[in-house]
């Protein structure tokens, strides 16, 4: 097992280097001049040139990449900065360190994605088991219809429809203003997940508003995930239901909820959880559109705004973060599966 | 279940998709209004007899725009998938059959490309290349290549072990002839299935890119961009018809493609039916 883990981790390194290279190339191929952006429209040519020099944009591209990766050693410096030292650089747009910027926005994305995946699981698991039990019946067909439809509906459109219904027509939930009403103080707490922080500190008022703001983004992010999880659960449940041990359990008098909860669902669960993990890994970077609809201050929106403003270090960090979470989640899923099923290691 | 049911799904899917294709082809006959006509006196008018789906800002007729947008979205999706197949299929055939270091290098490159969420990659590359229909096709097509390479490669690796391929080799066919005449035809089924699914996925990606303003340049109509036009109106509290109809058009198209993909998959791979 250990050698398998080492092998998989070693295989990760060239992929991640490739990812940094691709992120670098793409961000530097963007039209627009970050120095001019930084200097503002009234800056003189000399000022722009000075900024360009300071940001190191006058170096050749290979040198810039080298500086990005291993710091100022490339320029004969004392060895500061660089990705290998965990330094993501400084955002040209906000002036803060990129790590700080991303760190401030990551909890928002995590809160939304986690809530969305929880929603997807809560809907898809029971429905999937139920559909398998009623195989071929109306409910099963309905579930299949829903899951085919689920992948056909764009998440950003669903987000807008939800807003139309629950914010504009019914006025039950708040509009697209982010995690809390404009001007509200976020709750103090260790996690920066507003729902959890306000709950821990017993701030019920904030808790209620935070939950209200979270509901629609949660459904919009979670709904497209329902379809694949539902299908997987249904098929896994079907094969469990046809197994000998369930036949034995039934013969021994088990039925109803204990049978489904304890024996069927437990065996159908790993697949569904794996799938949820993969989707969540994808969503950390891929939630841009839903974040945009709800003005949700997450990493996706940060990445997009950086892109619009040709903010090289910030774009690279965002792209890197998306790719790394996705790859690492993928690896984690593989490793967990190889623990459960040792045959995977032999491939 | 009987085989007839699957035909029903295929027929419904093909019917719906055919309908959308017809809408795109005969757009000028279906929409009486000009999709680019500006009518400042009639902005944000709710659906009526004159404007079936209402009007948007500048008095754009939403019905005409939804209809004409089908041209852009379908053209982009179908061309992009054709591009993915044109690049991905031969590469998959070759690396799957030949193997060796070429195979390893190709797979590592695909790993790097697939490490990015497709949307993130597409946004980045498209911002670098600039807007426009041709670049959209290029980007969506390239993002879709790895899927086809992997699919075809896996198929080839299993096909090349088959007895009939060995027989072909035994009677003295060259390696290239084995690949083209014996193995390649066996990969067509999976590629067709994936093409339908990828096409739906390409429409969603094109709409997503349009939604964030990187799609077909305005004022040309495109479904994703039309949905985005609804955001500012939403804050002002209304004009539901602006985002609703283009979204329905996307959903119908992608839904029909999923139906086609599923039923073709069942036809190509009958063992799948058992779990149904």
pLDDT at res. B2: 47
3-state DSSP call for residue B227? helix
Rounded CA gap, A320 and A105, in Å?
A: 15
- Confidence band for B126, pLDDT divided at 50, 70 and 90: confident
User: Is residue A1 one of the residues assigned to a domain?
Assistant: no
**DSSP symbol at A187:** P
Q: What is the mean pLDDT of residues B203-226?
A: 89
Rounded CA gap, B131 and B205, in Å?
A: 14
User: Is residue A128 one of the residues assigned to a domain?
Assistant: yes
Q: What are A104-124's pLDDT values in tens digits?
A: 899 999 999 999 999 999 999
pLDDT at res. A347: 52
CATH code (residue A221): 1.10.3720.10
Query: Contact, B252 vs B16, CB < 8 A?
Result: yes
- Confidence band for B1, pLDDT divided at 50, 70 and 90: very low
- Confidence band for B94, pLDDT divided at 50, 70 and 90: very high
User: Is residue A166 one of the residues assigned to a domain?
Assistant: yes
**DSSP symbol at A179:** S
pLDDT at res. B119: 86
Mutation for testing the B interface, residue in A153, A156, A293 having most B CBs under 10 Å: A156
Residues 159-218 of B with CB under 8 A from A: 200, 204, 207-208, 211-212
Q: Give the residue among A310, A62, A18, A29 at the shortest CA–CA distance from B139.
A: A29
H helix or E strand, kind and range, residue A50: helix A45-54
Chain-chain contact of B231 with A136 (C-beta, under 8 angstroms): no
Contacts of B219 (CB under 8 A, 6+ apart): B36, B58, B60
pLDDT at res. B112: 85
User: Is residue A240 one of the residues assigned to a domain?
Assistant: yes
Residues 94-153 of B with CB under 8 A from A: 108-109, 111-113, 115-121, 123-125, 127-130
User: Is residue A37 one of the residues assigned to a domain?
Assistant: no
Q: What is the mean pLDDT of residues B97-106?
A: 88
User: Is residue A206 one of the residues assigned to a domain?
Assistant: yes
* pLDDT-above-90 percentage for chain B: 33
pLDDT at res. B146: 92
Rounded CA gap, A317 and A91, in Å?
A: 10
Kindly list the residues from chain A whose CB atom is less than 8 angstroms away from the CB atom of residue B112: 15, 18-19, 22
Residue B120 CA to its chain's centroid (Å)? 17
Alpha-carbon separation of residue A28 from A311, B131, B267 (angstroms) = 10, 17, 47
B40 in contact with A, Cβ within 8 Å: no
- Please name every residue paired with B55 in a beta bridge, in sequence order, or none if there are none: B61
Phi and psi dihedrals of B61, rounded to 5? -80, 115
pLDDT at res. A198: 83
Buried b (16+ CB within 10 A) or exposed e, A32-48: eebbbbbbeeeeeeeeb
Number of structural domains, chain A? Answer: 1
B227 vs A149, A157, A176: nearest CB: A157
pLDDT at res. B16: 93
Rounded CA gap, A174 and A264, in Å?
A: 40
**DSSP symbol at B213:** T
- What's the longest Cα–Cα distance across chain B? 78
Q: What are A223-264's pLDDT values in tens digits?
A: 988 988 998 888 888 888 888 888 888 888 887 777 777 777
Q: Which tokens in the block code for residue A116?
A: 């969305």
The overall average pLDDT reported for chain B is 85
CA atoms within a 13 Å half-sphere pointing along the CA-CB vector of B84: 32
Contacts of B144 (CB under 8 A, 6+ apart): B80, B81, B83, B84, B88, B198, B201, B202
A148 vs B119, B238, B258: nearest CB: B258
- Please name every residue paired with A97 in a beta bridge, in sequence order, or none if there are none: A90
Q: What is the mean pLDDT of residues B136-160?
A: 91
Q: Own/partner pairs for B96-102, CB < 8 Å, 24+ apart?
A: B96/B152, B96/B153, B96/B154, B96/B155, B96/B156, B96/B157, B96/B160, B97/B156, B97/B160, B97/B175, B97/B178, B97/B179, B97/B183
Q: Give the residue among B120, B107, B112 at the shortest CA–CA distance from A21.
A: B112
Q: What are B244-257's pLDDT values in tens digits?
A: 899 999 999 999 99
Query: Contact, B183 vs B156, CB < 8 A?
Result: yes
Q: What is the mean pLDDT of residues B130-153?
A: 91
Nearest residue of A to residue B115 by CA position?
A: A323
Chain-chain contact of B120 with A163 (C-beta, under 8 angstroms): no
- Please name every residue paired with B61 in a beta bridge, in sequence order, or none if there are none: B55
pLDDT at res. B235: 65
Nearest residue of A to residue B223 by CA position?
A: A157
Rounded CA gap, B126 and A30, in Å?
A: 9
Query: Contact, B261 vs B272, CB < 8 A?
Result: no
User: Is residue A40 one of the residues assigned to a domain?
Assistant: no
* Domain of A109, in residue numbers: 104-299
Q: What are B177-190's pLDDT values in tens digits?
A: 888 888 888 888 88
Q: Which tokens in the block code for residue A269?
A: 């669960």
ipTM over 0.95: no
Rounded CA gap, B221 and B234, in Å?
A: 20
User: Is residue A280 one of the residues assigned to a domain?
Assistant: yes
Q: Is the pLDDT of residue B243 over 80?
A: yes
Mutation for testing the B interface, residue in A158, A160, A235, A322 having most B CBs under 10 Å: A160
- Please name every residue paired with A304 in a beta bridge, in sequence order, or none if there are none: none
SS (H, E, C) A257-305: HHHHHHHHHHHHHHHHHHHHHHHHHHHHHHCHHHHHHCCCCCHHHHHHH
Rounded CA gap, A324 and B42, in Å?
A: 49
Q: Does B88 sit behind a cis peptide bond, omega within 30 degrees of 0 on the bond before it?
A: no
CB atoms within 10 A of CB A118: 13
Rg of the Cα trace of chain A? 24
Rounded CA gap, B134 and B137, in Å?
A: 5
- Please name every residue paired with A90 in a beta bridge, in sequence order, or none if there are none: A97
Q: Which residues of chain A, if any, have pLDDT below 70? A: 79, 341, 343-347
């Amino acid at each position: 097992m250990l050698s398998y883990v080492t092998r998989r981790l070693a295989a990760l390194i060239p992929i991640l280097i490739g990812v940094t290279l691709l992120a670098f190339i793409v961000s530097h191929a963007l039209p627009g001049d970050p120095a001019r952006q930084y200097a503002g429209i009234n800056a003189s040519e000399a000022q722009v040139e000075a900024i360009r020099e300071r940001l190191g944009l006058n170096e050749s591209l290979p040198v810039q990449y080298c500086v990005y990766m291993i710091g100022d050693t490339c320029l004969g410096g004392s060895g500061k900065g660089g990705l290998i030292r965990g330094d993501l650089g400084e955002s040209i747009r906000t002036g803060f360190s990129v790590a700080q910027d991303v760190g401030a926005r990551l909890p928002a994305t995590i809160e939304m994605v986690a809530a969305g995946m929880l929603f997807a699981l809560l809907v898809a698991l029971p429905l999937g088991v139920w559909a398998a039990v009623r195989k071929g019946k109306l409910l099963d067909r309905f579930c299949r219809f829903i899951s085919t439809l689920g992948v056909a509906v764009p998440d950003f459109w669903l987000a807008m429809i939800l807003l139309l219904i629950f914010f504009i027509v019914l006025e039950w939930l708040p509009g697209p203003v982010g995690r809390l009403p404009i001007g509200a103080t976020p709750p103090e707490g260790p996690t920066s997940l507003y729902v959890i922080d306000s709950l821990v500190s017993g701030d019920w008022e904030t808790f209620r508003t935070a939950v209200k703001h979270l509901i629609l983004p949660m459904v919009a992010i979670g709904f497209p995930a329902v379809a694949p999880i539902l299908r997987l659960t249904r098929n896994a449940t079907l094969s469990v239901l046809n197994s000998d041990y369930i036949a034995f359990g039934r013969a021994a008098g088990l039925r109803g909820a204990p049978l489904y909860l304890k024996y069927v669902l437990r065996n159908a669960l790993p697949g569904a959880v794996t799938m949820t993990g993969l989707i969540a890994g994808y969503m950390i970077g891929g939630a841009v559109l839903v974040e945009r609809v709800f003005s949700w201050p997450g990493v996706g929106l940060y990445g997009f705004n950086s892109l619009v403003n040709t903010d090289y270090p910030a774009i690279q960090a965002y792209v890197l973060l998306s790719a790394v979470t996705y790859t690492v989640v993928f690896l984690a899923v593989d490793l967990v599966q190889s623990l459960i099923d040792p045959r995977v290691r032999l491939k | 279940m009987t085989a007839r049911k699957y035909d029903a799904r295929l027929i419904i899917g093909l019917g719906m998709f055919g309908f959308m294709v017809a809408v795109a082809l005969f757009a000028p006959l279906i929409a009486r209004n000009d999709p680019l006509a500006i009518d400042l006196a009639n902005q944000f008018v709710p659906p009526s007899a004159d404007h079936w789906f209402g009007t948007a800002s500048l008095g754009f007729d939403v019905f005409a725009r939804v209809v004409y947008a089908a041209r852009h979205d379908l053209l982009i999706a179908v061309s992009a998938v054709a591009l993915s197949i044109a690049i991905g299929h031969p590469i998959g055939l070759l690396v799957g059959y030949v193997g060796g270091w070429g195979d390893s290098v190709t797979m590592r490159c695909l790993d790097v490309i697939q490490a990015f969420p497709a949307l993130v990659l597409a946004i980045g590359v498209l911002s670098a290349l600039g807007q426009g229909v041709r670049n959209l096709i290029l980007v969506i097509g390239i993002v879709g290549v790895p899927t086809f390479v992997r699919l075809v490669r896996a198929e080839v690796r299993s096909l090349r072990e088959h007895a009939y391929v060995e027989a072909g080799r035994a009677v003295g066919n060259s390696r290239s002839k084995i690949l083209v005449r014996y193995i390649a035809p066996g990969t067509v089924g999976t590629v067709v299935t994936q093409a339908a699914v990828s096409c739906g996925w390409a429409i969603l990606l094109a709409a997503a890119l349009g939604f964030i303003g990187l799609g077909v340049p305005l004022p040309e109509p495109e479904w994703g961009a039309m949905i985005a036009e609804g955001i500012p109106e939403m804050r002002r509290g209304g004009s539901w018809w602006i985002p609703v109809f283009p979204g329905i058009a996307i959903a119908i198209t992608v839904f029909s493609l999923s139906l086609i993909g599923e039923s073709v998959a069942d036809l190509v791979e009958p063992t799948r039916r058992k779990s149904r």
